[in-house]
Each structure stands twice: as C-alpha cells, then as structure tokens.
Amino acid sequence: MTTREEIEALIDATAAGDRAAFADLYRRTSAKLFGTVLRILKSEAETEESVQEIYVKIWRNADRYRAGGYSPMTWLITIARNHAIDRLRARRFSGGDLDEAEALPDAAPGPEALAMASSDRARIVDCFTRLPPDRAEAVRRAYLEGETYAELAARFEVPLNTMRTWLRRSLMKLKECLSE
Amino acid sequence: MIDAPDTGDDDDRILAAEYVLGLMPAAERRAFEARLGGDAALRAEVAAWAEDFVRLTDDAPEVAPPAALWRGIEAALDTPVTTAPRRRFGLLGYAIGGLLAATLAWVVMTSGLMSPAAPEFTARIAAEDNSLIFAAAYDADTGTLDLRHQTGGHPPGRSLEFWLISEGAAPVSVIVWPDGSAHEVITLPADLAARVPNAVLAISDEPGGGSPTGQPTGAVVAVGQVEAI
C-alpha cells in the first residue's frame, strides 16, 4: 500500500525531473488510472493511448501539483478523468466510430449499485442516495460520462434551463450533505 | 443551510462544482479560471469538489496496463517537444492577452488539465490519396490546438511543418512536427486563435527542423478545412 506522503514525494521528484521517481509513480498508480479511464472510455485501445498521454501530461505538469491544493491521488485521477472525458466528448461530437466502445457493456453502476458497492463507501455516494434518483443520475453522468447540460436535457427530456436549475439544486443539496 | 450563510458563497460553490464537472460553457469557464488566479477560497471550493467527486471512481477496479505502455511513455518523453513555435506561441499568446502574472500561472496550470474541455472545431488534414492524415481539434476556450497523427510519414531527414492559412494572410507556422510523435497540443496566441474557425490547416514537406524562411518552402502534402462541430 502506497501512502499519500509517498505519492506526494514521487510527484515532487517527478517535478524535479527524476525519471526513476516517475517510473515508480507509474508503477504505483497506473493500474488505478488505467481502470478509471477504461471505466469511462470502455475501449481498451483508446484507454491505452489515453493513459500514455495522461502520464506524459503528468510528467510535464508535475510542477503544478502543489498549486492546486488537491490530494495526490485526486490530482492524478482528476487529470486522468478529464483527459478521458475530453476524449469521450470529442468522440461523441465527431460522431466517431462507436463500435468498439459499444462492444463493451456499460459497466458503470447506477447510484443504487454504487451505494452498495463498498462498505467503506464515500460520503458522496451516501449523499447521492438522498437525491431523487434521476437527479443523482444526472450528476453522475456529468462526472463519469462528461455529459453536458444540453445532453442531459435531451436525456431527461426537459428544457435546457430546467436541467440547469435541477442540477444546480442537486449540487447545492449534495454540498449540504457533504458538509454535514 | 448552516454552512451556506449567503448566496454569494452558494453561487461560487455551485460554479466550482460546474467547473469540476466540466459543465461550464467556454466563455464562462474562461472567466471562472481568471477568477481562480486571485481567489484562494474559490480554489479551495474547486479542490473540495474534486476530492468528493473523485470518489465516484472508487469502484473502478484496478487494471494493470500492458507492459508496452510504459515503453510508449518513455519514448514520448524522449521525443523532443520543444519546437520553437510551441514555446513562442505559448508565452506570446498569453502576453498578448494582457493577463496578470498570477492569472497566467493559474490558466496555464489548469488549461485542459483540471477541467475537461470539449473541442469546438475540428479538421481532418489529409493528403489527396489519404497516405498522410492528421486529426485536429481546436478548443477556442483554451486556445489549444490538438493535433493527432493518424497515418503516414515523411522522408528521412525531412520535417512536416503545419501552417494555419486564413484568407488574406500569409501562412503562419503552427508547429514543426516532432519525429515519431503521435500527439501534440499547441497553445495559439490570441491573434492567431481568432483566425482558426475559418482557416485551412496545411502541412508542407520541409528540410529537417522546418522551413528556414518562416514560410512554406516545400510541397504541400496535406490540407484540411477547419469546421465547427
């Protein structure tokens, strides 16, 4: 098990150009990042290419880690998630070939499945259960599928402004719950 | 509502969440990132949401990447990426924008890194016979041009140079493609960025290291019209 301090030290060393530290960082974190990106992209080939790009990004931006105030794994996973979402959106917007992606089943569980997934579950998962299921689903889709307001409005068959109002209220409720 | 004493804080809290989720329209995100530069409390809101949302990935199982992946990363790191245009454009672009140093640091730090961004324009830069193809995606929000090699190469000792061509203006060099690179991201200066939406991207065959004159000297080997998504 790698501690937060160890990951942090490895990011700092990476920022200083230490290739061995970067290799160690990769060894300790790549399975988590790969699994996360695979969950989002649902394509092995795209995940491999993306994770390669993500680690190049991490190498080039490691000196910026300290300024963000993120915990080290959150910083790494957030970069990976954002990169994957960018890719997913580009795929959707360009009407790209979805055959490969659709060949893999949608493994992302809904809010209820998420709630059951772990006994050490995150606060946010508990807080999701306090939202109406469709609202929780909308927030989850924004984070894990990169869906935009327009896409969410179409999915839930409500006007764009209604979607925005819905989601903002849900975020407010989430924050209240998370702050308890 | 104990933790939400006034609506100003509430609004920022929601904006921070929308930023992390990637729900902000381009102009709004730009404005938000500009604020982040000088607002530590807002940065803390962003970090707090990021910490909470990231837990939604807790149940993604760890999957060991194939061994070849690390070799690919090492190869990418060993490929020189510091072509002159990239450096020049990156710094010049923000200087032209007249942004404060603090904002500069934050925007550079966050662009495409801490919030997802959707490309707004794309181009397929291809040779007539499709023997050379690059895909381009331009994000007007961040001013970044994402270039991805898809197929084809160039003669040994020569370089592929990318040009942005807009009506009534001389071609402007965008990048000399680093040998063997699969993917490059270039930040365009503001004046050039404004011309992207109606531009043509072209690739010329140049001496190793790029055109010695600042204008295309060799054959144009691939072209593509930039189109809005």
Domains and CATH numbers, chain A: 1-103 (1.10.1740.10), 108-180 (1.10.10.10)
CATH code of the domain containing B214: 2.60.40
Binary contact (B63, A179; C-beta < 8 A): no
Residue A1: predicted pLDDT: 59
Same-domain pairing of B97 and B178: yes
Q: CB within 8 A of A99, min separation 6: which ones?
A: none
Given A26, A56, A69, which is nearest B76 (Cβ)?
A56
Give backbone dihedrals phi and psi of B130, rounded to 5 degrees, phi first. Answer: 60, 20
Domain around B139: 70-228
Same-domain pairing of B51 and B103: no
Residue B124: predicted pLDDT: 86
Residue type, B192: L
**pLDDT tens track for B84-114:** 333 334 444 444 343 334 444 444 444 557 7
Binary contact (B13, A175; C-beta < 8 A): yes
What are the chain B neighbours of A174 within 8 Å (beta carbons)? 17, 52
Within 10 A of A2 (CB to CB), how many other CB atoms are there? Answer: 15
Residue B162: predicted pLDDT: 95
A25: closest chain B residue by CA: B70
Give backbone dihedrals phi and psi of B223, rounded to 5 degrees, phi first. Answer: -140, 160
Residue B102: predicted pLDDT: 40
pLDDT band at B29 (very low <50, low <70, confident <90, very high): confident
Given B44, B60, B114, which is nearest A39 (Cβ)?
B60
**pLDDT tens track for B116-134:** 765 567 788 989 888 998 9
Query: Residue B13: is its pLDDT beyond 80?
Result: yes
Q: In angstroms, rounded to a whole number, what is the distance separating the alpha carbons of residues B161 and B144?
A: 17
In a domain, B109, yes or no: yes
Same-domain pairing of B28 and B127: no
Same-domain pairing of B78 and B177: yes
> β-pairing, B172-176 with B121-126?
unpaired
Q: In angstroms, rounded to a whole number, what is the distance separating the alpha carbons of residues B107 and B142?
A: 9
Binary contact (B22, A31; C-beta < 8 A): no
Q: CB within 8 A of A67, min separation 6: which ones?
A: B105, B106, B109
Same-domain pairing of B101 and B26: no
In a domain, B137, yes or no: yes
Same-domain pairing of B111 and B36: no
Task: Extract the tokens encoding B80.
Answer: 């020189």
The nearest CA of chain B is from the CA of A88 a distance in Å of: 9
What are the chain B neighbours of A85 within 8 Å (beta carbons)? 22, 116
Same-domain pairing of B102 and B200: yes
**pLDDT tens track for B35-83:** 887 888 998 999 999 999 999 999 899 999 999 999 999 998 887 544 4
Q: In angstroms, rounded to a whole number, what is the distance separating the alpha carbons of residues A88 and B210?
A: 33
Same-domain pairing of B52 and B80: no
What are the chain A neighbours of B137 within 8 Å (beta carbons)? 90
Residue A101: predicted pLDDT: 43
Residue B150: predicted pLDDT: 83
Residue B80: predicted pLDDT: 59
The predicted model scores a pTM of 0.67
- Where are the extended beta strands (E) located within chain A? none
Q: In angstroms, rounded to a whole number, what is the distance separating the alpha carbons of residues B21 and B39?
A: 19
pLDDT band at B7 (very low <50, low <70, confident <90, very high): low
Task: Extract the tokens encoding B217.
Answer: 């000297």
Average pLDDT over residues B210-224: 91
Instruction: Say if CB B206 and CB B158 are below 8 A apart.
Output: yes
What is the count of structural domains for chain B? 2
pLDDT band at B33 (very low <50, low <70, confident <90, very high): confident
Which residues of chain A are under the pLDDT cut of 70?
1, 93-121
ipTM score assigned to the predicted complex: 0.88
Instruction: Say if CB B174 and CB B201 are below 8 A apart.
Output: yes
Q: In angstroms, rounded to a whole number, what is the distance separating the alpha carbons of residues B200 and B198?
A: 7
Same-domain pairing of B99 and B34: no
In a domain, B2, yes or no: no
Helix (H, G, I), strand (E, B) or coil at B173: strand
Residue from A146, A36, A164 nearest A93 by CA: A146
Instruction: Say if CB A107 and CB A132 are below 8 A apart.
Output: no
**pLDDT tens track for A46-55:** 999 999 999 9
Residue B50: predicted pLDDT: 94
Given A19, A26, A69, which is nearest B44 (Cβ)?
A69
Q: CB within 8 A of A167, min separation 6: which ones?
A: A135, A138, A139, A142, A149, A152, B23
Q: Which of B57, B79, B95 is the endpoint of a domain?
A: B57
Residue A164: predicted pLDDT: 94
Residue B61: predicted pLDDT: 94
Binary contact (A93, B4; C-beta < 8 A): no
Q: In angstroms, rounded to a whole number, what is the distance separating the alpha carbons of residues A1 and B61?
A: 16
The nearest CA of chain B is from the CA of A56 a distance in Å of: 6
Query: Residue B176: is its pLDDT beyond 90?
Result: yes
Q: In angstroms, rounded to a whole number, what is the distance separating the alpha carbons of residues A94 and A174?
A: 33
Residue B229: predicted pLDDT: 60
Give B149's strand partners. B134
Same-domain pairing of B17 and B121: no
Same-domain pairing of B110 and B206: yes
Same-domain pairing of B223 and B166: yes
Give B225's strand partners. B200
In a domain, B64, yes or no: no
Q: What is the Cα Rg of chain A in Å?
A: 18
Query: Residue B172: is its pLDDT beyond 80?
Result: yes
Average pLDDT taken over every residue of chain B: 79
The nearest CA of chain A is from the CA of B173 a distance in Å of: 23
